[in-house]
Amino acid sequence: MSSLSEFVRTAYEKSAAVRGMLTAAGLRPEDIRSRADLGRIPLLRKSELAQRQRSAPPFGGFLTVPEGELQRIFVSPGPIYDPQGSGPDFWRWGQALSAAGFARGDIVQNTFSYHLTPAGMMFDNALRRLGCTVIPAGVGNTELQVQIMREAGVTGYIGVPSFLYTLVKKAQELGYQNDIRLRKAWVAAEKLSEELRSIMARDFGIEVFQGYGTADLGCVAYECPARNGFHLAEGVIVEVVDPETGRALGPGQPGEVVVTLLEPTYPLLRFGTGDLGALTDVPCRCGQPGERLTGIFGRTVDGVKVKGLFLYPHQIEELRSRCTGVRFIQAQISQVDFRDVLLLKVELDQDENAAGTAAAVAQQAKEILRFTCRVETVPSGTFSDGDRNILDTRTWE
Ligand SMILES: [Zn+2]
């Protein structure tokens, strides 16, 4: 018997919610024997988790131990209750921070919130597990945080990328830059731009790593020193699925990141994150085997379905960035004779060689979007900065 089937059987026995969900789908625990069988279980949406928690507070019937055996109970926006079960690193972030080089001897300023939401405690626990010294700084207090960074000899930062930038700029402004020993930063919860990452390395000597997870799930995926996609964490099974059907998608196809949390205390089977990602089976340069997430591109709700395939804003942006001389592309979706039609309106930097550029865009679109589409160039100045790059004019009845 595989460890997955054993896990599902125990979850079924101990969690009323898991039992209810499997039964409603006409499944018995013995039906789930392999990873492929997981696909038979319907997705658990965050909204459904919140709803189940309202009707059976606090944990909606997912918790498999008495509340009094937990270390802590957190409350994320929603509100959604998040349990902290036993163990020194319950959310398994140690693997992510270790891959980023955090180790004994580091003095780390943890700027995630310690109040109600679990983020602060998640990383605090993982850092302590690795032997790091933690400054539980929390959010805000920019000037004080810079002073602490300088006086306490801080070597590592944990938090969101925008606050890292704020702190480093403030240190520079106060003339402290040469007194700061900060050399590594680990960020999450916000999009990290590659531009910010290279500014940090080039101008401040700080190497920035990132990871992906949620308050409900803990660590899901993280960067290794190659910083080329996210290795999947231990303790979870990650799928990328069609958000409508829940069916798993192949490597390279963007879809919803769905996570099965293999935590006996709080078994969440096929939790739909609503985050948009893609898997790759191309081996990482670091040599560690296994699938990786190539990135998190946004939220799945921003996608539209065209001719049976999903189309997302990040794909249009990728197409734009690959075509020289193109300032903006808007994908317009309409229906003609009940069939979807995809038209790319392309605004050029300069109104020259329009025909050649249009042909190049059509060629790239075939590759990146996997659609054959009509391309029309429009004069520069047609689109303004606030315009969306996907416009769906189909009417639904
Ligand atoms: Zn790697």
For ligand 1, a single-atom ion, the residues with CB < 5 A are 224, 226, 284, 286, 288
pLDDT bracket for residue 217 (50, 70, 90): very high
Question: Over 90: is that where the pLDDT of 340 sits?
Answer: no
Distance 181 CA to ligand 1 centre (A): 26
Distance 293 CA to ligand 1 centre (A): 11
Distance 228 CA to ligand 1 centre (A): 7
Comparing CA positions, the residue from 131, 135, 91 lying closest to residue 262 is 91
Distance 111 CA to ligand 1 centre (A): 26
Whether 1-75+226-298 shares its CATH topology with 87-215 is answered yes
What mean pLDDT, rounded, does the chain reach?
A: 94
Q: What is the pLDDT of residue 74?
A: 97
Comparing CA positions, the residue from 361, 256, 233 lying closest to residue 305 is 256
Q: What is the pLDDT of residue 195?
A: 92
For residues 184 and 133, what is the distance between their CA atoms, to the nearest angstrom?
14
Q: What is the pLDDT of residue 299?
A: 86
Quote the percentage of the chain above a pLDDT of 90.
Answer: 82
Distance 225 CA to ligand 1 centre (A): 7
CA angle, 268 as apex, 1 and 312 as ends, to 5°?
Answer: 115
pLDDT bracket for residue 387 (50, 70, 90): very high
Distance 289 CA to ligand 1 centre (A): 8
Distance 315 CA to ligand 1 centre (A): 24
Q: What are the residues whose beta carbons fall under 8 Å from the beta carbon of 207, sequence distance 6 or more?
A: 100, 101, 183, 184, 185, 200, 201
Distance 230 CA to ligand 1 centre (A): 8
Distance 178 CA to ligand 1 centre (A): 32
Report whether 127 contacts 108 (CB < 8 A). Answer: yes
Q: What is the pLDDT of residue 124?
A: 98
Q: Read off the pTM.
A: 0.86
Distance 99 CA to ligand 1 centre (A): 9
Distance 226 CA to ligand 1 centre (A): 5
Q: pLDDT per residue over 25-64, tens digit each?
A: 999 999 999 999 999 999 999 889 999 999 999 999 999 9
Q: What is the pLDDT of residue 305?
A: 84
Distance 202 CA to ligand 1 centre (A): 22
* SS3 category, 282: coil
Mean pLDDT for 221-242 is: 97
Question: Over 80: is that where the pLDDT of 395 sits?
Answer: no
Q: pLDDT per residue over 124-177, tens digit each?
A: 999 999 999 999 999 999 999 999 999 999 999 999 999 999 999 999 999 998
Distance 64 CA to ligand 1 centre (A): 34
Comparing CA positions, the residue from 204, 118, 126 lying closest to residue 167 is 204
For residues 165 and 204, what is the distance between their CA atoms, to the nearest angstrom?
10
Q: What is the pLDDT of residue 394?
A: 84
Q: With respect to CATH, is domain 87-215 assigned 3.40.50.80?
A: no
Distance 304 CA to ligand 1 centre (A): 32
Q: What is the pLDDT of residue 386?
A: 87
For residues 93 and 282, what is the distance between their CA atoms, to the nearest angstrom?
24
Distance 38 CA to ligand 1 centre (A): 26
pLDDT bracket for residue 396 (50, 70, 90): low
Domain ranges of the chain: 1-75+226-298, 87-215, 305-392
Question: Over 70: is that where the pLDDT of 397 sits?
Answer: no
Question: Over 60: is that where the pLDDT of 230 sits?
Answer: yes
Distance 285 CA to ligand 1 centre (A): 6
Question: Over 90: is that where the pLDDT of 372 sits?
Answer: no
CATH (residue range 1-75+226-298) = 3.40.50.12780
For residues 301 and 183, what is the distance between their CA atoms, to the nearest angstrom?
37
Distance 235 CA to ligand 1 centre (A): 18
Q: What is the pLDDT of residue 226?
A: 96
Distance 292 CA to ligand 1 centre (A): 9
Q: What is the pLDDT of residue 393?
A: 86
Q: What is the pLDDT of residue 2?
A: 67
Distance 95 CA to ligand 1 centre (A): 13
DSSP for 346-379?
A: EEESSSSSHHHHHHHHHHHHHHHT----EEEEE-
Least confident of 212-221, 245-254, 305-314: 305-314
Distance 135 CA to ligand 1 centre (A): 29
Q: What is the pLDDT of residue 312?
A: 87
Q: What is the pLDDT of residue 248?
A: 94
Least confident of 127-131, 149-153, 265-269, 384-388: 384-388
Q: What is the pLDDT of residue 12?
A: 98
Distance 282 CA to ligand 1 centre (A): 11
DSSP for 293-307?
A: EEEEEEEGGG-EEET
Q: What is the pLDDT of residue 286?
A: 95
What architecture (CATH level 2) is domain 305-392? 2-Layer Sandwich (3.30)
Q: How many CA atoms lie within 13 A of 324 on its CB side?
A: 3
Question: Over 80: is that where the pLDDT of 351 sits?
Answer: no
Mean pLDDT for 280-297 is: 94
Distance 224 CA to ligand 1 centre (A): 5
Comparing CA positions, the residue from 47, 45, 104 lying closest to residue 257 is 45
Distance 287 CA to ligand 1 centre (A): 6
Report whether 288 contacts 224 (CB < 8 A). Answer: yes
Question: Over 60: is that where the pLDDT of 1 sits?
Answer: no
Q: What is the pLDDT of residue 293?
A: 97
Mean pLDDT for 323-335 is: 93
Question: Over 80: is that where the pLDDT of 120 sits?
Answer: yes
Distance 103 CA to ligand 1 centre (A): 18
Distance 284 CA to ligand 1 centre (A): 5
